[in-house]
């Protein structure tokens, strides 16, 4: 396809050339079209393009090349890295919303703009499950190519290891179907370098796990008992079966209407998890916790995996938030103390909403030479999440995050960077600590090969 765009009529020409929408500043739809789920980020692109199909993606890239614009790709805006500016186009993938399940092959094929929600619903009709994270409203592609650790991770692995093929439009307009066998280098790079860096993924096929019901939920304990709950969690994880993926969490639920009443405005130490093996074994493990100490609130029980969002109950509506996360090689009592201090200690109220230490290991650590995702040997992953309700909260959050990581320097894994649990400049920069030196060099060569002029400059730094 050869298209020529000249500067004077450039937007008109693009509007005529694509079947989807082209929305520019001044258009009443612009603010909504350019919005990210995370309200802390603002895109200000020269145009928002909502491609209707793969040809539209090819045409938009040709346009960007000719006019020297960069292209930022967005499914939901949960994980903005470098926001789109006036020298860029924001490509919103919402029209790529198809989902097909192949029950015999146990795979799901989905468009590059779907969230996990419809994939989970369709897969569950066949007793199958994708390796989604805690929130089904997160984009499937962005989550997966950044690693993807969810409630089935210790049992079935990271989402990035479940990828079977990626259909991608490269900066020069070529459409490539990358698998571990065909275009293995591109497949390797895409599976780990995160989205928005090497190309536009228009379709992804992943393997599904045979999961229909799980034993899952939360035990809420008083915040005063946080260190005891933490100590029990870390000692119990030492010999936990891989069927159990669990976490210690301390949350200061804000006094907002979106928080259900028994939790609103309260702070709890929480043991949460999902047992995806024998349900009776899962219950027996949680019964031991119940016998150890009666929780204030107990939501554990048999859960159809279709309802797995109930485990974490992440907020669904857009919010101004910040996230920072690292892999830890071990979790001594100092980790529990740092988590408590981040959320409730030192001069409260803290803008840190929660700190969650997820047990890793199991299938997460299985090496996979077909993907570039490297940071998988940590025994735990710690995530800090805060709400940015004011500019002061933003500064304070950054300080608390930084202070926590300094305090935990001894606990950090060899490769501490977990790109999915960071955003913005931090995700961009943390790439240095998410890959081994050899992987980084190989990714940099691949980037030079497939995107020499840096059209995709809104992902991580390679
Ligand atoms: C409430 C919540 C819960 C979460 N839970 C987990 C969890 O349990 N485990 C976990 O690992 N992570 C989790 N995350 C992090 C999440 O996986 C990352 O933020 C991820 O990057 C979000 O992807 P997205 O497509 O929704 O966001 P976006 O901001 O739209 O995209 C993220 C990145 O992927 C790129 N991208 C998106 N679509 C495409 C595409 N089709 N082609 C090429 N590039 C693309 C974007 O350019 C961007 O660089 C959570 C995030 C939130 C907000």
Residues in the chain, overall count: 462
For residues 432 and 129, which has the higher predicted lDDT (pLDDT)? Answer: 129
Q: Which two tokens stand for residue 454?
A: 């840096």
State mean pLDDT over 259-286.
Answer: 94
Q: Which of 384, 420, 427 has most ligand 1 atoms within 8 Å of its beta carbon, as the pocket-test mutant?
A: 420
Q: Which of 40, 75, 114, 417 has most ligand 1 atoms within 8 Å of its beta carbon, as the pocket-test mutant?
A: 75
pTM assigned to the model: 0.96
pLDDT at 151: 98
Listed residue (208, 205, 206, 204) closest to 127, CA to CA: 208
Which residue's alpha carbon is at the smallest distance from atom 37 of ligand 1? 142
Q: Which two tokens stand for residue 182?
A: 């065909």
The Cα 170–Cα 120 span in angstroms is 28
For residues 217 and 425, which has the higher predicted lDDT (pLDDT)? Answer: 217
Contact 164, 371 (CB under 8 A): no
Angle ∠(331,356,341) on CA atoms, nearest 5: 75
> With a 6 A CB cut-off, is 133 part of the ligand 1 pocket?
yes
Q: Which of 139, 197, 316, 459 has most ligand 1 atoms within 8 Å of its beta carbon, as the pocket-test mutant?
A: 139
Sign of CA dihedral 312, 318, 321, 324: positive
* 347 pLDDT higher than 90: no
The Cα 365–Cα 124 span in angstroms is 26
CA-based Rg of the chain, rounded to a whole angstrom? 22
pLDDT at 260: 80
> With a 6 A CB cut-off, is 76 part of the ligand 1 pocket?
yes
pLDDT at 9: 55
> With a 6 A CB cut-off, is 252 part of the ligand 1 pocket?
no
pLDDT at 430: 86
Tens-place pLDDT, residues 68-87: 999 999 999 999 999 999 99
> With a 6 A CB cut-off, is 139 part of the ligand 1 pocket?
yes
Strand pairing category for 175-178 and 163-169: antiparallel
Q: Specify burial of residue 370 (Cβ count, 10 A radius: 0-12, 13-18, 19+).
A: middle
Tens-place pLDDT, residues 232-252: 999 999 999 999 999 999 999
Bridge partner residues of 356 (DSSP) = 249, 383
- Ligand 1 atom closest to the CA of 194, numbered from 1: 34
State mean pLDDT over 8-15.
Answer: 75
Tell me: domain 213-433, CATH 3.40.462.20, correct? yes
User: How many angstroms is it from 340 CA to the middle of ligand 1?
Assistant: 27
The Cα 279–Cα 283 span in angstroms is 6
Return the minimum-mean-pLDDT range out of 21-30, 362-371, 420-429, 434-443. 420-429
Domains of the chain, residue spans: 11-92, 99-210, 213-433
Angle ∠(235,236,239) on CA atoms, nearest 5: 100
Angle ∠(4,7,13) on CA atoms, nearest 5: 50
Q: Which two tokens stand for residue 130?
A: 């994708």
pLDDT at 348: 65
> With a 6 A CB cut-off, is 303 part of the ligand 1 pocket?
no
State mean pLDDT over 254-266.
Answer: 84
For residues 369 and 425, which has the higher predicted lDDT (pLDDT)? Answer: 369
Listed residue (390, 405, 394, 425) closest to 355, CA to CA: 405
- Ligand 1 atom closest to the CA of 96, numbered from 1: 41
Bridge partner residues of 325 (DSSP) = 383
Tens-place pLDDT, residues 52-65: 999 999 999 999 99
> With a 6 A CB cut-off, is 196 part of the ligand 1 pocket?
yes
Which residue's alpha carbon is at the smallest distance from atom 24 of ligand 1? 139
- Ligand 1 atom closest to the CA of 134, numbered from 1: 8
State mean pLDDT over 257-278.
Answer: 91
> With a 6 A CB cut-off, is 22 part of the ligand 1 pocket?
no
> Going by C-beta distance under 8 Å and a sequence separation of 6 or more, which residues neighbour residue 405?
324, 326, 412
- Ligand 1 atom closest to the CA of 460, numbered from 1: 49
pLDDT at 440: 95
pLDDT at 8: 44
pLDDT at 101: 98
Task: Give the strand order in the sheet containing 21-23.
Answer: 21-23, 47-50, 88-92, 70-74
- Band the pLDDT of 110: cuts 50, 70, 90: very high
- Ligand 1 atom closest to the CA of 314, numbered from 1: 1
Residue 290 has φ and ψ, to the nearest 5°, of -65, -40
Q: Work out the widest C-alpha separation in the chain, in whole angstroms.
A: 73
The Cα 59–Cα 44 span in angstroms is 21
Listed residue (102, 41, 108) closest to 77, CA to CA: 41
Residue 177 has φ and ψ, to the nearest 5°, of -100, 110
pLDDT at 462: 80
Contact 340, 224 (CB under 8 A): no
**Residue % of the chain over a pLDDT of 90:** 87
Tens-place pLDDT, residues 119-171: 999 999 999 999 999 999 999 999 999 999 999 999 999 999 999 999 999 99
Contact 91, 34 (CB under 8 A): no
Q: What is the mean pLDDT of the chain?
A: 94
Q: How many CB atoms lie within 10 A of CB 37?
A: 22
> With a 6 A CB cut-off, is 342 part of the ligand 1 pocket?
no
Tens-place pLDDT, residues 168-219: 999 999 999 999 999 999 999 999 997 889 999 999 999 999 999 999 999 9
* 424 pLDDT higher than 50: yes
* 5 pLDDT higher than 80: no
CATH architecture classification, 99-210: 2-Layer Sandwich (3.30)
CATH architecture classification, 11-92: 2-Layer Sandwich (3.30)
Long-range contacts of 397-406 (CB under 8 A, 24+ apart): 397/322, 397/351, 397/352, 398/322, 400/342, 400/350, 400/351, 400/352, 401/322, 401/324, 401/352, 404/324, 404/338, 404/339, 404/341, 404/342, 404/355, 405/324, 405/326
């Amino acid at each position: 396809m050869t298209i020529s765009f000249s500067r004077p009529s450039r937007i008109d020409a693009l509007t005529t050339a694509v079947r989807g929408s082209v929305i520019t500043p001044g258009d009443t739809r612009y603010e909504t079209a350019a919005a990210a789920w995370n309200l802390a980020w603002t895109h200000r692109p020269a145009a928002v393009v909502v491609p209707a199909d793969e040809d539209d993606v090819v045409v938009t890239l040709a346009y960007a090349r000719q006019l020297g614009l960069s292209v930022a790709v967005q499914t939901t805006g949960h994980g903005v890295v470098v926001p789109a500016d006036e020298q860029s186009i924001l490509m919103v993938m919402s029209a790529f919303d198809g989902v097909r399940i192949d029950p015999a092959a146990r795979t799901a094929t989905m468009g590059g703009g779907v969230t996990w929600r419809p994939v989970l619903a369709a897969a569950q009709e066949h007793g199958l499950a994708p390796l989604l994270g805690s929130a089904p409203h997160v984009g499937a592609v962005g989550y997966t190519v950044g690693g993807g650790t969810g409630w089935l991770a210790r049992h079935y692995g990271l989402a990035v290891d479940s990828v079977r093929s990626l259909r991608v439009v490269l900066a020069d307009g070529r459409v490539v179907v990358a698998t571990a066998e065909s275009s293995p280098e591109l497949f390797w790079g895409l599976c780990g370098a995160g989205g928005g860096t090497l190309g536009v993924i228009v379709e992804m096929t992943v393997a599904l796990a045979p999961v229909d019901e799980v034993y899952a939920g939360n035990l809420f304990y008083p915040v005063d008992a946080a260190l005891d709950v933490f100590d029990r969690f870390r000692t119990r994880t030492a010999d936990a079966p891989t069927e159990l993926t669990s976490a210690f969490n301390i949350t200061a639920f804000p006094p907002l209407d979106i928080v259900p009443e028994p939790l609103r405005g309260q702070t709890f130490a929480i043991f949460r998890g999902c047992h995806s093996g024998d349900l009776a074994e899962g219950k027996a493990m949680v019964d031991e916790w119940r016998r150890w100490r009666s929780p204030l609130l107990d939501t554990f029980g048999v859960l159809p995996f279709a309802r797995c969002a109930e485990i974490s109950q992440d907020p669904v509506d857009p919010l101004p938030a910040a996230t920072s996360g690292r892999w830890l090689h071990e979790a001594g009592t100092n980790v529990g103390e740092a988590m408590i201090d981040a959320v409730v200690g030192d001069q409260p109220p803290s803008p840190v909403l929660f700190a969650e230490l997820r047990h890793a290991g199991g299938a997460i650590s299985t090496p996979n030479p077909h993907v570039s995702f490297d940071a998988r040997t940590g025994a735990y992953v710690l995530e800090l999440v805060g709400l940015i309700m004011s500019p002061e909260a933003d500064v304070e959050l950054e300080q608390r995050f930084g202070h926590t990581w300094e305090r935990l320097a001894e606990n950090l894994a060899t490769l501490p960077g977990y790109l999915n649990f960071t955003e913005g400049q931090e995700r961009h920069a943390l790439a240095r600590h998410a890959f081994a030196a050899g992987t980084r060099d190989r990714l940099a060569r691949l980037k030079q090969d497939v995107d020499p002029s840096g059209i995709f400059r809104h992902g991580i730094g390679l």
